[in-house]
């Protein structure tokens, strides 16, 4: 399912609240969603569920250092480095 930038922005806002243990926060769940070409710069993605997510060409500059990226059904931890 393809999500819009507006939907993602709202999901990230709620996830940030969840990380801060605020009452109305929700854990980010991008599992099996298409988030390709969306902007996620500076996003806090700790403990987000990204299993099976399509993140092709997603703009993630300065996002958290370690994300679970799922490739061909298997995941690996990859260090993201700032683009210079």
Give pLDDT tens digits for 3-40.
Answer: 999 999 999 999 999 999 999 999 999 999 998 889 88
More confident residue, 41 or 15: 15
End-to-end CA distance of the chain: 32
Distance from CA of residue 22 to its chain's centroid?
A: 19
Q: How far apart are CA 14 and CA 24, in angstroms?
A: 7
Beta strands per DSSP E along the chain: 66-71, 74-79
Dihedral over alpha carbons 59, 8, 80, 44 (to 10 degrees): 140
Q: In the prediction, which pLDDT does 33 show?
A: 93
Give the residue-averaged pLDDT of 47-55. Answer: 87
Instruction: Grade residue 62 by pLDDT with cuts at 50, 70 and 90.
Output: low
pTM for this entry: 0.71
Tens digit of each residue's pLDDT (9 = 90 or more) over 72-84? 334 444 444 444 4
Q: How far apart are CA 16 and CA 47, in angstroms?
A: 11
Q: How far apart are CA 29 and CA 32, in angstroms?
A: 9
């Amino acid at each position: 399912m393809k999500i819009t930038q507006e939907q993602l922005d709202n999901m990230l806002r709620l996830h940030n609240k969840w990380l801060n243990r605020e009452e109305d926060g929700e854990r980010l769940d991008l599992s099996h969603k298409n988030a390709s070409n969306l902007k996620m710069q500076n996003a806090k993605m700790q403990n987000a569920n990204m299993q099976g997510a399509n993140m092709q060409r997603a703009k993630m500059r300065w996002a958290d250092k370690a994300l679970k990226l799922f490739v061909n059904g298997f995941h690996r931890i990859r260090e993201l480095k700032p683009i210079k």
